[in-house]
Structures are given as structure tokens and as C-alpha cells.
Amino acid sequence: MVRPTLTDRSFGIRWILASAVGMAVAAAVARPLSYLVGGAAHEALGPVFGEAIVGVVAGGGTLGGVALAQWPLLRGRVDWAGRWPAAGAAGGAAGAAAGFGALAGLTLLGAEVLGAAAVLVFGIAAFLRAHTLVLGGHVSRPMWLAGGCAAGFLGAALVTMAVGSFSGLDGESPLFGALFGAMYGWVTVLVLGRLVRDSG
């Protein structure tokens, strides 16, 4: 069940701010942790599984952290609020693991040219599957909601990278993470608002 308060302007502003802070903090923690864990995994398991584990830590930690920051705003507004952080973490971990692993495997085969397409295809498919497994049966359109989140992530990545390239903003800086999170939050709050209207 979703309630009309998800479409309030004040909710949208707070959602975007929470997403910006959540992304900046989560990325600052998850990125170095993924390098540490991934380095050990590379040595023990090889590049494909090593990169997949990097994806689990980086993707799951980042999107799980953003969703955790958003969660207090959902409490009392949707019945599935408690599942939201798990959906973000599961989708981020699965998507990044599948994408990074596929890229590493193709690189080993000398097919680097297919790398970007593989990251998108395998990453999006895994994200959608994991996200809907957590929220399926609890929201009216789980695949549509997961797709909106995935589109928000990809759109935020493109916009933030473009801004960073023109401004010289460091891709690992908290400001970059905050900008990324704000863009992701803006798209996802629009998706939530559409879900309210369709459910009403």
C-alpha cells in the first residue's frame, strides 16, 4: 500500500537531500572497502570472481546505504518500507557483481569491445531480478519500480560523469557522490509518485 504523502513537495525535497547524503557517505565507505576485499578476492579466486566480489561490496554497499538513508522517510507511508534498504542492497550487489564479473570475463577472452554492453545487459538484468525478489508481492508493480530505480541510477551516472568531466570534479569526492545521489533521488521520487497515482 502507498499513501498520497509520497507526492508532497516537502517529501520530494527531503528524499532528494537524504539520497544525496546517503550516497556521499555510502560511497565513501563502500568504495575503499570494495578495493580491500576485492584485492584479496582477486588473489584467491581470480579476476572474474574477484571483480564480482568488488561489485557485491561496492554496489550493495552504495545502493543499500542510499536506501537506508531514504528508509526513515518511507516509514509510516508505505507498508513495505522495511524491505526498501534490502531491495536497494540486493539490487546493487547483484547488478554490480554481474556487470563487473561479465566485464572481467570478456576481458580475459579478449572481447573488451563488448565490455560496456555486457555491464549494462547483465548488470540491469541482475538488478531487476534481485530488486523484484525483495519487493515482489508487496508493491503493485515491482518490476516497474525496479526499472525506475535502475534508470535513475544510470541517468544519474551519465549526468554526474558529464558534470564531472566539464568541472574537473573528482569522481571519488564526497561532492561527486552527493550530486550523484541527488540525481538518483530525484528520479526515484518521481517513480514513487507515479506508483502512488497508478495505485490510487
pTM, to two decimals: 0.87
The CA-based diameter of the chain, rounded to the nearest angstrom, is: 53
d(CA 74, CA 42): 38
CA distances to 8, 133, 143, 144 from 140, in Å? 20, 13, 9, 9
d(CA 122, CA 51): 14
Classify residue 172 by its DSSP letter. T
pLDDT at 1 over 70: no
Cβ atoms of 188 and 156 closer than 8 Å = no
pLDDT digits (tens, 9 = 90+) for 121-173: 889 999 999 999 999 888 888 898 899 999 988 888 888 888 877 777 666 67
CA distances to 4, 36, 125 from 132, in Å? 23, 30, 11
